[in-house]
Amino acid sequence: PFVQLASRVFKDNGSEVRYGNLLAGLNISGIPCLVGVDDGERCLLAAESQAQPLDELLKGSGRLGHGGQPTLTLTLAEHPDDVPCHVPLGREESISWQTNSVGLLICRVILPRPPQHLLVISSSVCVWNRAPTDLEVRFLAPESGNADLVPMQARGAFRSVNARVLNGMQEAPSGHSGADEIEEAAAAAGVPECGGDGALRLRAGHMFSVPPEAQLRAGQVVLQLRPAPDTSGGITYEWSDPFFSVPTGTSDGGAVTVCSLPPEGLKDMPRHWLYMRACCAPADESRCVVEVQAPFTIVNSCPCDLLCRFNPFVMRTSLGKDRDRISVEPGTSVDLTVGDGRGGEVRVPQGGQAEILPLRLDADGYFHWTCDGRPGRTKAKRDTNCLIAVLDARRGEIVWHFFLAVMGRETEQDRVAPLRICSQSVLPAFDVVAEDLCVSFSLRDCGGVMTSWSFPMQAVDLAHSPEEVIELEHRGMYVQLNAIRSGRELVVYSRWWFVNSTGLNVRLMQPGGPGKMHPVWPFNENNIAFLPQVRNDAGDGVAFVELQGSSPVEVRVPDVGGAQAVQLTPLHSCCLRTERVAMPEAMRGVPSCVVSLLPALLLFNRLSSDLEIGIRQVGCSNDSATWVASNASGALWWASREDKVVQIAVRRRTPTECARTAWSDKFEIKESRIGAYPIALTTGTGHAMPFLLCLAIDQDAFVLSLTVTGRTSCHSVVNKHPHVALEASMDGAFDASGAAFSFHVAHGERVYVAGRPPPLGGGGASMLRLSMRSIADPEDHASLLIDLGTTGTFRAKNSSQRRSTLRTMTLVTVELRNRVAIVTVKAAGRALQDNDSEVFPEDLRTMHGLLRVDSLSIALLVDARSQSASTSLGTPSAVAAGPSPSSPTSLAAANAASRWRWEAFTVSLAGVSLDIRQMPTRQRDVDFKIHELQVDLQRRPRDVVLKSTTKPFLHMRYQRDDVRTLDWRIRQMHLNLGDLEVSVTGAALEQVRQLRRSLLPGSVGLSLREVISRAHVPFHLSCRGPSCASSKMTVSSLEISQLKVDVWCRLYLPDAHYVPKTLRDLLQVVSRTNRLDVKGAQLKLPQQTLFSQRSPGEGSVSTVLARVSDAYLPHVKACWRSLVQHSNIFLGGFLSRHAWAPRQRREWKTKPRFCRISAAGELDLNPAIVGALGSVAG
């Protein structure tokens, strides 16, 4: 389908496309080829290091309506009679091309960003340098007439290319398209340099195609390596042992570690080790990629420097041993895993042993293990922090050896300065063998105090879980880091960062240790601290912040993308916000988040150069006011605990004088006051013209920003009527003498008008009183009261009802731009003088839209790659290039792609109808109905988690005034809800949690530079300016029908961390079980009528929903009797209906999965669904 679309929209010259190429070609084989589509025209694909656009091949009307996918036909440019190759488009494909002239070639089609296709032509073997330094490679081939392998000189014009081109580069940098990235990545590549001994230079991160003459057979080549001389201090190392690539299709690919010795005269130099492996697809052993990397690499993704030490000494003191019997069937294998108490697991090999270090015991002194899926626990010896598990399957027992491990005293080798890895950098270790290596870490704070050294971690350990926890002791407290082990790389990072961006002396505190609270010290000069992972009794992650001179305040840490209000003191309102950190590609995309403490009130002055804005709290002196200079910003803090209402003023400060306007009327700063408010300030006594400004109140999460702009941002009145003079005043706005501010507008003038700040208590629209008088006869006049929050066009005419004697036909138009009104008065045309209508003829139409859908299915997909680094770093190839299924060597990643993405829920709707009517007055009436709803959990165990039991499920009707405005003014809304049945399980809640993370806004996050800037200066200086204009919702009437919900719930309480811990403990004590089982508890909520014209629901959507939730909370609490009667909460339910007469749940049939995800991660419709749709269409 994309080819048919391309043939319609492409111009004659395909190079005019500016949005990336649908088809591009990259030829790194060194052999020019001709490429054509089907039987159409052909173009030359030369051996270049850059991708060449091939979009012109997709043009042509002859293929319109072609039933199948097009096929690319490749021929050798210099040997046109040789065997061609046919490559189908539409999906990723790899085809062997056995030519008679140049040997074996591989033609691949990869999809960097569907539907973009990239055709890659190479030999059967590619060499990929994943090390951070340049290498030299030479190939060995048998000499003619001799079986010995000798170095060969490469004769072909094969190319070197940045490996990111072939790895798809899933995430694009800001402002770049996919085609631009491919061209930029390939621009730094070229023809590899060939030395006299056959040495070819392979740059770091690059890949080249092996010369065809070096291939022994498909996927097989013999090569040698050594570091490039200029990267090793000008020393030319000897060639390593030969490596013979044998494609096996396994994950290790016959991996070996080869060594390059220093030259004869420098034997005291360290050896240079390299880790190599050959990878290929399980079903295609004709194509092979040889990966070369350091034996071990440490990636420091922390915001501070990291100290490390290799092979530290650990003293282990034996504390005894214990045994556990297990049942083992003869001839079967035993799967034993032991938890380390920190979230990780260690697998114990059958007939072998494994060490768990460090080991954390639970509160009762037990450690936990699982044998063949059956959980178990064992009481450890006192002071145990190290465990060696020995699995003897023959005897059917597990032997536990308990140790107390401490870091040993420093040896002569340890006294050498530890290795320092700078923040956001990589340390490759070429002089070690990773199999015999363990590493320990430490940190140093800004005062030079080091933490303790962590217990050592094995560099390469397949028995441990990929992710581990590193605990360091610092000033009597513990600092926690995380480590992800992926193949030959160990990525060290911190999940949670903390920055104080308030401009106040605020410290992050941590409970525990000696005393009550201790400050958390930063380990860098950037003032970025590691947030301790502390949970309160409710099970929520919390942080403790302390303003100097005040007590610490506990605040819940919001989820990623969320915010939480913080009251440091009654005078200091703040906000805690959690955002992702956009790590560079070299940091492997670890899931780090930054928690920022921000001021809750910000002031931005956008007036001219010599005007300052002041905000004063009512009841406080002028000295307590906050003044902000022109084009500057500041944070607002309260001066008093009482009457948190403010006034605004403007002053002009010059070297000789300081003139200030009068303070405005008092107003509140809160969510319900979102909007733009032109304000008139008295500048002096008498009839002096007022000073006009526009105050905009906007909200971003819990941060409210006040932006002050000049008079040109206020309401304006434009007089285009040649026979009428205008006088305008804002209703309720008076000067110091009590007279209304009046603004006179002559013909051809535009006058800005303003009034008062938002009134206290809310409610009331901004009204403009407009007086019109005839210039020829002043007795002819008309007075109108105009709502400036609603657009429209009407006319003023002679009417006794309006007390108007104006005989001149006049039209008044109200427009809204940037939430301020532009009122235009002009003469009516001849057509309107003979018409009694109040509006323009073109606005007399009523638009009516009707949409009906009999059946609608929605698949909600979870993408685990955006949530956990352990999944995106699951394979070595994914480590180097991100989680791209199209990676040339990401074979395990491709097989696991379907595990990265899955369909969590399927939402099935029936009888969906939407009826919209838009009136000439710009009022919109909406009638929305859903007849039936069913939500199915598609992960095991599959279940119907939400089902409507009566019809219709939802019937919503509402009226919105003036759809042209940014704000939503809902005059009335009616919600009729049917009965529901809800099933709550741990599996469903886990999928909801993962789905929520996948759908979080702002997934790119802050760059490290932005985080550092936020930590160094207050937020109002580091942010990009005031918040964008916020949409305000005003609901005047909300009617909700009664609702009945049947609740079925089954939760395993020890794993239900989303339930407050105190409640979990109470339930386990009272119910005498660790499972919560609810069978048909009924939640009955009465009909509700909320809000009114005088007290509407105002503010953001979350603010209005919070008021609705508060109204329903007492009714929800009143349903506790039904919960106790139909659950095992009290004494296991033996004294209630739960045990003796439980309600039986109706059997609902789950709907089939809507999507099918292939092993390569491609998303497709379920064939069963497609067949059902086809039968319906037929």
> Measured between alpha carbons, how far is 591 from 580 in angstroms, rounded to an integer?
7
> Measured between alpha carbons, how far is 750 from 485 in angstroms, rounded to an integer?
68
> Measured between alpha carbons, how far is 1127 from 370 in angstroms, rounded to an integer?
30
**Is residue 1138 classed as helix, strand or coil in its secondary structure?**
helix
Handedness of CA 557, 561, 566, 572 (dihedral sign): positive
> Measured between alpha carbons, how far is 1099 from 670 in angstroms, rounded to an integer?
8
Once rounded to an integer, what is the mean pLDDT over residues 639-643?
A: 88
Phi, psi of 331 (to 5 degrees): 80, 5
pLDDT cut 70: percent of the chain above it: 82
The predicted structure's pLDDT at residue 1099:
83
The predicted structure's pLDDT at residue 1066:
66
Band of residue 961 on the pLDDT scale cut at 50, 70, 90:
confident
For the cut 80, the answer to whether the pLDDT of residue 1166 exceeds it is: no
The predicted structure's pLDDT at residue 224:
94
For the cut 50, the answer to whether the pLDDT of residue 691 exceeds it is: yes
Q: Where is average pLDDT lowest: 441-445, 996-1000, 1117-1121? A: 996-1000
> Measured between alpha carbons, how far is 1064 from 1061 in angstroms, rounded to an integer?
5
- Write a three-state SS string for 543-603: EEEEECCCCCEEEECCCCCCEEEEEEECCEEEEEEEEEECCCHHHCCCCCEEEEEEECEEE
- Residues 377-387: tens digit of each pLDDT: 999 999 999 99
The predicted structure's pLDDT at residue 780:
83
For the cut 90, the answer to whether the pLDDT of residue 319 exceeds it is: yes
> Greater confidence, 1169 or 263?
263
Token pair, residue 180, equals: 């631009």
Band of residue 280 on the pLDDT scale cut at 50, 70, 90:
confident
> Greater confidence, 876 or 654?
654
Once rounded to an integer, what is the mean pLDDT over residues 115-138?
A: 90
The predicted structure's pLDDT at residue 1042:
93
The predicted structure's pLDDT at residue 405:
94
Contact 188, 181 (CB under 8 A): no
The predicted structure's pLDDT at residue 878:
30
Q: Where is average pLDDT lowest: 802-806, 844-848, 960-964? A: 802-806
> Greater confidence, 945 or 1132?
945
Q: Where is average pLDDT lowest: 286-290, 1057-1061, 1103-1107, 1161-1165? A: 1057-1061
Band of residue 767 on the pLDDT scale cut at 50, 70, 90:
confident
> Measured between alpha carbons, how far is 25 from 953 in angstroms, rounded to an integer?
53
pTM: 0.79
Once rounded to an integer, what is the mean pLDDT over residues 47-76?
A: 73
> Measured between alpha carbons, how far is 1027 from 1019 in angstroms, rounded to an integer?
12
Query: Which residue, chain included where needed, has tokens 């999965």?
Result: 1153
- Residues 728-757: tens digit of each pLDDT: 988 776 655 556 678 899 999 999 999 888
The predicted structure's pLDDT at residue 797:
59
Q: Where is average pLDDT lowest: 124-138, 155-169, 300-314? A: 155-169
Contact 291, 276 (CB under 8 A): yes
- Residues 912-955: tens digit of each pLDDT: 999 999 888 788 999 999 999 999 999 888 999 999 999 999 99
- Residues 818-831: tens digit of each pLDDT: 888 999 999 876 55
The predicted structure's pLDDT at residue 1:
35
> Measured between alpha carbons, how far is 104 from 216 in angstroms, rounded to an integer?
10
pLDDT, the chain, mean: 81
- Residues 546-562: tens digit of each pLDDT: 999 999 999 999 888 88
For the cut 80, the answer to whether the pLDDT of residue 283 exceeds it is: no
Q: Where is average pLDDT lowest: 95-109, 472-486, 838-852? A: 838-852
- Write a three-state SS string for 1069-1135: HHHCCCEEEEEEEEEEECCEEECCCCCCEEECHHHHHHHHHHHHHHHHHCCHHHHHHCECCCHHHCC
The answer for residues whose C-beta is within 8 angstroms of residue 675's C-beta and 6 or more apart is 696, 697, 758, 819, 967, 1032
For the cut 90, the answer to whether the pLDDT of residue 399 exceeds it is: yes
Contact 87, 119 (CB under 8 A): yes
Contact 163, 880 (CB under 8 A): yes
Paired strand residues for 753: 715
Band of residue 440 on the pLDDT scale cut at 50, 70, 90:
very high
Band of residue 841 on the pLDDT scale cut at 50, 70, 90:
very low
Once rounded to an integer, what is the mean pLDDT over residues 84-96?
A: 86
Contact 538, 548 (CB under 8 A): no
The predicted structure's pLDDT at residue 249:
58
Once rounded to an integer, what is the mean pLDDT over residues 452-477?
A: 86
Contact 420, 474 (CB under 8 A): no
Q: Where is average pLDDT lowest: 193-197, 259-263, 562-566, 748-752? A: 193-197
Token pair, residue 392, equals: 């003897």
The predicted structure's pLDDT at residue 10:
44
The answer for residues whose C-beta is within 8 angstroms of residue 1159's C-beta and 6 or more apart is 894, 895, 897, 898
Contact 852, 913 (CB under 8 A): yes
- Residues 148-192: tens digit of each pLDDT: 788 887 766 567 888 877 754 433 323 333 334 444 444 444 556
**Is residue 895 classed as helix, strand or coil in its secondary structure?**
helix
Paired strand residues for 542: 534, 556
Give which of 573, 626, 633 is closest to 603, Cα–Cα: 633
Give which of 447, 452, 577 is closest to 521, Cα–Cα: 447
Band of residue 881 on the pLDDT scale cut at 50, 70, 90:
very low
For the cut 70, the answer to whether the pLDDT of residue 376 exceeds it is: yes
